[in-house]
Structure 1
Amino acid sequence: MRKADLLDELRSEIGVVSDKSAGEIGRLYRFVCDILVEKVAVYQSVSIYLTHSATFQCEYHRGHRLLPDEVPFGEGLFSLAAVRGGIVREKIGTRTEVFVPFYRGHHLVGELVVISAPGGMIDDEDVTLFCELASLFESKVKECNS
C-alpha cells in the first residue's frame, strides 16, 4: 500500500472514532496512539502529553517507552514546541522525534509526540497528518468544554 493511501485510511478511521466519541476526548487520544503504532511500522512510540501545573504528563501512550512520563516546563523539545507554537521535528541519534502542540484558544492543552524507529523516516506527509490530528484535538477540546 502506498504511504499516501495508508495515511488517508488512518484519517478516515480516526474521523469515524472522533465522530463517535463526543464528549470523550480520552477515547480519541487513546485510539490515535493505538492506531498510529499499529498501522505505521516506522512509528515506534506515540504519546499524548497533557499539561498539568508546571509539567507535561504522559496521559496516553502506545509503543516503546522512550521518554519520561513527566517533563517539567522549560525542559527539552516539549517546551521548544510550546514556545514556538508549532511543530518541532528533530533527529536524535538514529531516531526522529516530532512534537506537535495543541491548544484551547491561547492555552496549551498538550502535545502529540511521535518517535520513529531507529533509522526510520518521518517525512512531510507524516507531519501533515500530525498537524491535522492536533487541529482535530483542538476542535474536540473546544467541543468538550463548550
Structure 2
Amino acid sequence: MRKADLLDELRAEIGAMSDKYSSELEKLYQFVCNSLFDNMADYQWVSIYLVEDFSFCLKFERGQTELPPVIPFGEGFMSLAAARGSVVRERIWNRTEVYVPFYHGHHLVGVLVVTGTAGGNIDDEDISLFCELASLFESKVKKCNS
C-alpha cells in the first residue's frame, strides 16, 4: 500500500474515533498514539505531552524513547516548538524527531511528539498529518472547554 493511501486511512479512522470520543480527550489522545505507532513502521515512538506546572508531562505514548517523562519549560525542542507555535523537525543522529504544539486559544495545551526509527522516513506527508491532528486536538479541547 502506498504511504499516501495509508495516511488517508489513518485520517479517516482517527476522524471516526474523534466523533466517538467527542468529550473524552484522554481516549482520543491514546487512540492517536496507538494508531500511528501500530500502522506506521517508520515511527519508533508516538507521544503526547501535556502542560502541567511549567513543564511538559508525558501523558500518552506508544513505543520507546529516550526523552524524560517531565521536561521543564525552556528546555529542548518541545519548548522551541511551543515558542514558535509551529512544527519543529530535527534530525538527531540517524532518526527524525517531530514536535507539533497544540493550543486552546493562545494557551499551550500540549505537544504531539513523533520519533522516527533509525533510517526511517518522516516526510512532509507525515508532517501534514501531524498538523491536522494538532488542529483536531485544538478543536476538541475548545469543544470540551465551552
Q: TM range, normalised to the smaller chain?
A: over 0.9
**Counterpart residue type for residue 28 of structure 1:** L
Report the CA distance between 1:138 and its aligned residue. 0.1
Alpha-carbon distance, 1:66 to partner: 2.4
How far off is 1:23 after superposition? 1.0
Where does structure 1 differ by over 3 angstroms across 4 or more consecutive aligned residues? none
Counterpart position of 1:36: 36
Aligned ranges 1:49-88 → 2 under 5 Å: 49-88=49-88
Deviations, residues 48-88 of structure 1 (Å, cap 9, x unaligned)? 00000110000000011321100000000000000100000
Contact kept in structure 2, 1:44 and 1:64, CA below 8 Å = yes
| Residues 87, 99 of structure 1: 8 Å contact kept | yes
Secondary structure of 1:126 counterpart: helix
8 Å contact from structure 1 (residues 49, 59) kept in 2: yes
Q: 1:94-132: CA deviations, max 9, x gaps?
A: 110000000000000000000000111110000000000
Q: RMSD in angstroms over aligned alpha carbons? A: 0.5
| Percent of residue pairs bearing the same amino acid type | 64
Distance in structure 1 (CA, Å) of the matches to 2:66 and 2:103: 24
- Residue equivalent to 2:123: 123
Aligned-residue offset at 1:40: 0.2
The CA distance in 2 between the partners of 1:65 and 1:99, in whole Å, is 14
| Matched pairs, number | 146
Looking at structure 1, the residues matched to 65 and 129 of structure 2 have their Cα atoms a distance apart, in angstroms, of 22
CA distance in 2, matches of 1:88, 1:66: 18
Instruction: Tell me the distance in 2 between the aligned counterparts of 1:66 and 1:140.
Output: 29
Query: Which 5+ residue runs of structure 1 have no aligned equivalent?
Result: none
Amino acid at match of 1:136: L
